[in-house]
């Protein structure tokens, strides 16, 4: 199956694209985009996280769950929204923690492409969603695909930083070898849990300290 994804990912995921579940997933997603209900992100941005962050350039992986399901929000990067779109509450809290942790000013937009281009894979567990219907594309095969992405990164690369916010991300990344990679966990940045351990987690400086100790440049958060 010819999947339109960045070439290095196309190579390392080649076996995955031949699996029966991925063929079923592709059929489902194509039919969804043909329907009357909008599907997010736009089809050309489904693999945006990979296209901005080639396999060998990955330094940090941040795991999300679903794309945003509001009009104009999702751009294929977890937690990120397009320029001109009001940052959702979780992203606002992420920026607050970045500012408190690193001293960097809160940016004037919520587009995290600048992180992706530095080696941060902003990976949602599910890469598509129906408009105004959170979780509508769960359990269709995306989770198996993104599990494979994490597994291949964890096995083929060394000294990556995996940032897992909330119980869903922590379960998804439970198998990552902590001796080979840095795994940072805390509550989710959503307003419901941010004050229960997300604020003050210092994940951004911890990630950079680890990268620099392993001769990699840190991220300009």
- The model carries a pTM of 0.98
Tokens 């950079």 map to which residue? 208
Q: Which of 57, 66, 101, 177 is catalytic?
A: 66
d(CA 206, CA 221): 12
Active site residue 101: no
Tokens of 125: 């567990």
User: Which residues in the chain belong to E strands, given as ranges?
Assistant: 39-40, 60-64, 120-124, 129-130, 161-165, 182-186
Tokens of 162: 């995996």
* Tens-binned pLDDT, residue by residue, of the chain (221 aa): 789 999 999 999 999 999 999 999 999 999 999 999 999 999 999 999 999 999 999 999 999 999 999 999 999 999 999 999 999 999 999 999 999 999 999 999 999 999 999 999 999 999 999 999 999 999 999 999 999 999 999 999 999 999 999 999 999 999 999 999 999 999 999 999 999 999 999 999 999 999 999 999 999 99
């Amino acid at each position: 199956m010819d999947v339109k994804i960045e070439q290095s990912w196309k190579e390392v995921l080649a076996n995955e694209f031949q699996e029966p579940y991925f063929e079923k997933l592709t059929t489902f997603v194509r039919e969804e985009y043909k329907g009357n209900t909008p599907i997010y992100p736009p089809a050309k941005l489904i693999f945006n996280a990979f296209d901005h962050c080639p396999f060998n350039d990955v330094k940090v992986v941040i795991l999300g769950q679903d794309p945003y399901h509001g009009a104009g929000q999702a751009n294929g990067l977890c937690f990120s929204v397009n320029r001109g779109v009001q940052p959702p509450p979780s992203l606002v809290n992420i920026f607050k923690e970045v500012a408190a942790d690193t001293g960097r000013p809160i940016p004037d937009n919520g587009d995290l492409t600048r992180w992706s281009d530095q080696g941060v894979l902003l990976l949602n567990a599910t890469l598509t969603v129906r408009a105004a219907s959170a979780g509508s594309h769960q359990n269709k095969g995306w989770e198996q695909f993104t599990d494979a992405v994490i597994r291949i990164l964890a096995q083929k690369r060394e000294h990556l930083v995996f940032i897992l916010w909330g119980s869903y991300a922590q379960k998804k990344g439970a198998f990552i070898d902590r001796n080979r990679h840095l795994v940072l966990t805390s509550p989710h940045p959503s307003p419901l849990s941010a004050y229960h351990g997300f604020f003050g987690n210092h994940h951004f400086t911890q990630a950079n300290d680890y990268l620099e100790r392993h001769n990699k440049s840190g991220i300009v958060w």
